[in-house]
A and B are shown apart, each in its own frame.
Chain A
Amino acid sequence: MKKTTRSILRVSIILSIIILLGVTLWFNLTSDKKTVQVGDEAIDFQLETLKGGPIQLSDVNLEKGVILNFWGTWCKPCREEMPDMNRIYNEGHDDYEIIAINVSEDEQQINQFLSSLDEKLDFPIALDRNRDVTKAYQVGPLPTTIAINKNGIVVDKKEYQLTVDDIYSFVEQSTSE
């Protein structure tokens, strides 16, 4: 074999192995990290609300920013942040909407929780019965709160109980352009 063909062959084999290895490693490392992150486009969904009737993210998101709050009645921090969210919501929500997505609980449990609260929650509660939306957003721990701006982009995500300041920050971010 000529020296030039030899080196061309050598370099191309090593290069193709490196490329294949790189692609494999990349697929391997990205395969289980599909969680929705800040900067991603929000995934549209449609769910039934507790009051009845459907709610669709893209409809609400047309003119308003959206705060998604994934919660369960059995989750203590979720229970504790609800009244704060409700109070701030009632200070005015012309340019944003809160959707509290209950993760796969039955209406009895939700209603029981709501009636134990001192005041009524005014934002819509969506029922994710089969965890379709929870899975689509790859929500791990509860509560998880996601802010979506008017352009449909995820601008913030927190996986713990929100403080009052956090909630104001969420409101501000979701209403920004």
Chain B
Amino acid sequence: MGANPQQYYTENYGTLGKIYIELGFHNLYSSWWFIILIGLLALSLIAASIDRGIPLFKSLKNQRAKKHPSFYKRQRLNLHQGSSRNTADVVEGLKKKGYKVKEDDNHYLFEKGKLSRWGPYINYFGLILLLFGSMLRFFPGMYVDELIYITEGETVQVPETNGKYYVKNNKFTIDIYDEESGTVYDNTLENINETVVSNYQTDFSFYENENMDVVGSAPDLQKVEDYSVQVNHPYRFDLFEIYQASYDNSQMKSMTFQLEDNDDKPVGEPFTIELDNPHQNYEVVDGVNVNIRAYAPDFLEIDENGALISETPVATNPAFVFEIFDSESSELSLIQIMNSTDITENNKYNVKFVENKNHWATVLTLKKDLTMPLIATGFVIFLVGLFIGSYINHRRIWVNTDDGFSISAHTNKNYFGLKKDINPVLRESGYDEILDRDS
């Protein structure tokens, strides 16, 4: 289905189109350079995780509570008070706020939300998993997305299953919402002035082939079950799913003609020609026969020896040479859409077009995706990492009593929240509020 991109782009855009095709822009996500870029992205993520993750792990693991007075002064939040009498109250107060304490003589380190620092690395891990999953899509047997086109009544092989399964389209249905259903929607349906589809459905029979040794040999089909697929209600077998995707009724199925005499009076009953496999002969009434002398599904021209030439095998512009014979005589006429020409002279009969019917074909998609669990897990981990990195704050507070009472604090984000942790504790212990260098 569809045009060949190679041909299309070179014909319409010349050299530029050729470059476009060569670089794979028509199918960007599976072009070689895109895959290489993604691979390099994965490499940088892994390299960055190791290069920065290991030093970070070490520095967070071996933190010391003892810090130099100049370190205290460098922190954005710090405070020095003369008396160290109420230090124990501060320690208790901060413990109650959920801080973990590390003591070294009269030095204290309070810490909370260390996990925050791991957020980016969790995020990277999820991303790498996601990239790994999307890589697996290129591996054979992991990912399938194919169209299955079936005309009503036909049986076709299910692709990608090596001829093991067949599916027969028993009936394709389109239901529309009824304007006179007596519900609240009636008015709306009337106002929009067009039909609204309520259901696309294919009723099919699913078969397993018991004779799959040789390509082309008649399959020995055993029915597995009958099933109806609707949009979003797929049929599942093995690791595959069959979805209702689309439909087509543009292909002609049959044409009906009426034989008339020279006075435009009908002769006999109308006759119907099945375009996919037409009969040779139609007896319209006793003794009067219509014979198909030639038929072209997609009429192009008449060649020198009088045969009808078809441009394609698809019935889009059918033309017939009919031979009409009764007990006395026989005559020939060429019938095309909107046109009829007598071939023999003084014809007694006309063949008149009555109606044509189109095929109803359903378009299903065959899907298989074994990479989805991996991609979904990767994405969830990605989001969890993002959340941890964005909304958890790594807060650290240092306290010592070397020279009166000194406190300083640091966080990777949200100093306001940190101050709200510290200030009530200081106030209750009889100290001033902590100084914020930036406020």
A residues in contact (CB < 8 Å) with B: 1, 9-10, 13-14, 17-18, 20-21, 23-25, 27-29, 31, 43-48, 54, 56, 72-74, 76, 104-109, 112-113, 116, 128, 130, 132-133, 136
Closest 6 CB pairs of A and B: A46-B217, A21-B39, A45-B216, A116-B307, A45-B215, A74-B310
User: Across the interface, do A28 and B138 meet the contact criterion of CB distance under 8 Å?
Assistant: yes
Chain A residues lying within 8 Å of B295, measured Cβ to Cβ, are 108-109, 112
| Distance A109 CA – B292 CA, assembled complex (angstroms) | 11
Given contacts A1-B54, A17-B39, A74-B313, is CB(A28)–CB(B32) below 8 Å? yes
| Distance A48 CA – B35 CA, assembled complex (angstroms) | 45
User: Across the interface, do B35 and A44 meet the contact criterion of CB distance under 8 Å?
Assistant: no
| Distance A48 CA – B217 CA, assembled complex (angstroms) | 8
User: Across the interface, do B217 and A54 meet the contact criterion of CB distance under 8 Å?
Assistant: yes
6 interchain pairs (CB within 8 A)?
Answer: A24-B39, A27-B140, A72-B313, A108-B292, A130-B157, A132-B215
Closest approach, in angstroms, between the C-beta of B149 and any C-beta of chain A? 12
- Of A44, A48, A107, A132, the residue contacting B157 (CB under 8 A) is A132
| CB-contacts of B29-47 with A (<8 A) | 30, 32, 35-36, 39, 42-43, 46-47
- Of A28, A47, A107, the residue contacting B216 (CB under 8 A) is A47
Chain B residues lying within 8 Å of A13, measured Cβ to Cβ, are 43, 46-47, 50
User: Across the interface, do A73 and B139 meet the contact criterion of CB distance under 8 Å?
Assistant: no
Chain A residues lying within 8 Å of B163, measured Cβ to Cβ, are 132
User: Across the interface, do A46 and B214 meet the contact criterion of CB distance under 8 Å?
Assistant: yes
B280: interface (CB < 8 Å): yes
Closest approach, in angstroms, between the C-beta of A134 and any C-beta of chain B? 9
B305: interface (CB < 8 Å): yes
User: Across the interface, do A31 and B138 meet the contact criterion of CB distance under 8 Å?
Assistant: yes
Chain B residues lying within 8 Å of A21, measured Cβ to Cβ, are 35-36, 39
Closest approach, in angstroms, between the C-beta of B319 and any C-beta of chain A? 12
B19: interface (CB < 8 Å): no
- Of A1, A104, A112, the residue contacting B313 (CB under 8 A) is A104
Which of B43, B46, B216, B310 has the largest number of chain A CB atoms within 10 A? B216
Chain A residues lying within 8 Å of B390, measured Cβ to Cβ, are none
Closest approach, in angstroms, between the C-beta of A35 and any C-beta of chain B? 14
User: Across the interface, do A74 and B298 meet the contact criterion of CB distance under 8 Å?
Assistant: yes
Chain A residues lying within 8 Å of B313, measured Cβ to Cβ, are 72-74, 104-105, 109
User: Across the interface, do B215 and A133 meet the contact criterion of CB distance under 8 Å?
Assistant: yes
Chain A residues lying within 8 Å of B276, measured Cβ to Cβ, are 106
B residues in contact (CB < 8 Å) with A: 30, 32, 35-36, 39, 42-43, 46-47, 50, 54, 135, 138-140, 156-157, 163, 214-218, 276-278, 280, 292, 294-295, 297-298, 305, 307, 309-313
- Of A23, A29, A76, A108, the residue contacting B277 (CB under 8 A) is A108
Chain B residues lying within 8 Å of A27, measured Cβ to Cβ, are 138-140
Known: A46-B217, A56-B217, A74-B298. 10 other contacts (CB 8 A): A17-B46, A46-B215, A46-B216, A47-B217, A54-B217, A108-B295, A112-B294, A116-B305, A132-B216, A133-B216
| Distance A107 CA – B276 CA, assembled complex (angstroms) | 10
Closest approach, in angstroms, between the C-beta of A70 and any C-beta of chain B? 13
Closest approach, in angstroms, between the C-beta of B289 and any C-beta of chain A? 17
Closest approach, in angstroms, between the C-beta of A98 and any C-beta of chain B? 17
**In the complex, which residue of chain A has the Cβ closest to the Cβ of B4?**
A140
**In the complex, which residue of chain B has the Cβ closest to the Cβ of A1?**
B54
| Distance A46 CA – B163 CA, assembled complex (angstroms) | 14
Closest approach, in angstroms, between the C-beta of A124 and any C-beta of chain B? 14
**In the complex, which residue of chain A has the Cβ closest to the Cβ of B321?**
A112
Given contacts A20-B135, A132-B157, is CB(A74)–CB(B216) below 8 Å? no
Closest approach, in angstroms, between the C-beta of B209 and any C-beta of chain A? 11
Chain A residues lying within 8 Å of B39, measured Cβ to Cβ, are 17-18, 20-21, 24
**In the complex, which residue of chain B has the Cβ closest to the Cβ of A29?**
B32
User: Across the interface, do A128 and B140 meet the contact criterion of CB distance under 8 Å?
Assistant: no
User: Across the interface, do A28 and B50 meet the contact criterion of CB distance under 8 Å?
Assistant: no
User: Across the interface, do A25 and B277 meet the contact criterion of CB distance under 8 Å?
Assistant: no
| Distance A46 CA – B202 CA, assembled complex (angstroms) | 31
User: Across the interface, do B35 and A14 meet the contact criterion of CB distance under 8 Å?
Assistant: no
User: Across the interface, do A112 and B35 meet the contact criterion of CB distance under 8 Å?
Assistant: no
| Distance A10 CA – B278 CA, assembled complex (angstroms) | 70
Given contacts A29-B32, A72-B313, is CB(A44)–CB(B156) below 8 Å? no
Chain A residues lying within 8 Å of B292, measured Cβ to Cβ, are 108
User: Across the interface, do B32 and A73 meet the contact criterion of CB distance under 8 Å?
Assistant: no
| Distance A130 CA – B163 CA, assembled complex (angstroms) | 12
| Distance A10 CA – B217 CA, assembled complex (angstroms) | 55
